[in-house]
Structure 1
Amino acid sequence: MIPKAYQLSLGLGDVFRICTSKEQAFKRLALWYNEVDASGIQSFKTLFRSVQNHYLDILNFFNNRATNAAAESFNAKVKSFRNAMRGIRDINFLLFRLVKLYA
C-alpha cells in the first residue's frame, strides 16, 4: 500500500513537471484520477475530491506556469507587520510604513 501511495504522489507531481499545456495536463490528471479511484487508498480519495472540486483553477497554472505564491508571501508579510504594530490607531501611518518598508 505504501509503494502504491508513493507512486500516486509521484504521478501527481509528474502532471505539473511534465505537462506544458492545459489540454495535456487535463488528460494526465484524468489518468491520475483513474489510478486513485482504482487504488482504494482513502487519503488519496480525499485529495482526489479536492482536486476534482478545483480542477479548473489548478489547470489555470498551465496558462503561464505561475502561481500566486508572490501575493501570498506579501500578504504574510503585511499580516506579520500588522501583528507587530498592534494597537495602532492611525491607519494612514500604518499604510505609510508599509509602503516605505515593502514598496
Structure 2
Amino acid sequence: MDTNPNSAWSIGRMYGVNGKHLLRQYRSHLSDFQSWEQRSHAKEWLLFPENLGTHLSIDETSLSRGELYTILTNKAAKGGRGSIVAIVAGTKAESDRRSDSR
C-alpha cells in the first residue's frame, strides 16, 4: 500500500480479507503512523519543507464531504513527486490583529 495506488479495500478483496480491517491493521501496526511526527496536527495542516522551491502556487480544493483545503505546491515538480509543500484545512485567511493596528 506504500508504493502502489491500490486501496486497502481492493487489496483485501483480492485476497478475501475485509478491506476496512486491513486498513486499520496497516495503519495501527504495519506503517509508521503511530510515530509519525505530524500526526498530532495532521487533521489541521501538513508541511513538507523539503519540497519548498522558488516558484510556488496556491489553490483551494474540496477533497471529500465538502471539506475545503488550501494547497501550496512547488511549480518545479510539475505535479509529480515532491510537489506538495503544504496542505491546510480551510480556505479562509485570517489576519493578525497586532499587524493590522499599525
TM-score, normalising length from structure 1? 0.23
- Name the structure with the higher helix share: 1
Identify the structure with bigger relative contact order (alpha carbons < 8 Å, sequence gap 6+): 1
TM-score, normalising length from structure 2? 0.24
- Name the structure with the higher strand share: 2
Pick the structure with greater CA Rg. Answer: 1
